[in-house]
Amino acid sequence: MPVITERRGRVLVVRLDRPSKRNAIDAEMAAGLDAAMNTLDDDPEIWAGVLTGTGEVFSAGTDLVAGPGAPTPRGGEYGLARRRRTTPLVAAVEGVALGGGFELVLSCDLVVASRTALFGLPEVRLGLVANCGGLFRGPRLLPVNIARELLLTGEPISAERAWSLGLVNELTDPGTALAAGVALAERVCANAPTAVRASLRALDTVLAADDDAGWQATEWSWQQATEAQDSVEGVQAFLGRRAPRWTGR
């Protein structure tokens, strides 16, 4: 299974486990994430979750060959991007979180990252745009000019820079992000779950007030990008391991 779950007391650990594809998200992984998030939402014995990858990589984003599968009824893209949760979720990141992998991080409530972590939205390098929340959650959680830098250059930022900008709650030594993420989730679990859920719901109500407009803008941007010849060239160049030949059309 490309998604593995483990209960550690009141904490549900959800691990992306498709290392041969750098944890790229296909339909099977999206379905596994959706099922895990349903458990996180629905099991009253679980008070917090941790989303992590393997020791070398969090997620390189969408599987460009197989595709990410259809959005799920409760979670939307990847089973998580549009989900309205009431149970806190911590991202524990080792290695790269790129494209859809970074958008999974942006869908979480708290972020712990190893110093090896890199965060980026490289879609423009493929002639595409971030379509799982990055276009509006990036500017929400980062200074606007830094979000522009990520979205327009496609270049990643380091964990240290992400921490200095306030995106990352806790910076850890390599190999310890999961342990630190679980410890942070346990700190959340030490509090009254009713109060935690109510607080998270209130925060989400305020912060996500503009999400509908964000998704509409994302869908428009995705249509504009994917109708262009450059999007075909960008993906073909990536799969062919060559430099793209852009035409601006």
Enzyme catalytic residues: 103, 123
**C-alpha to C-alpha distance for 83 and 77, rounded to whole angstroms:** 9
Which string of b and e fits 23-48 if b means at least 16 CB within 10 Å?
Answer: bbbbeebbbbbbbbbebbbeeeebbb
Which residue is it, tokens 């327009």?
152
- Within 10 Å of residue 227's Cβ, how many Cβ atoms? 8
- Within 10 Å of residue 12's Cβ, how many Cβ atoms? 24
Tokens standing for residue 108 = 């979480």
Q: Any alpha helices (H) in 84-210, and if so which ranges? A: 100-106, 134-141, 144-153, 159-164, 177-189, 193-207
Half-sphere exposure of 43 (CA within 13 A, CB side): 17
Which residue is it, tokens 């944890």?
23
Tokens standing for residue 141 = 């959680």
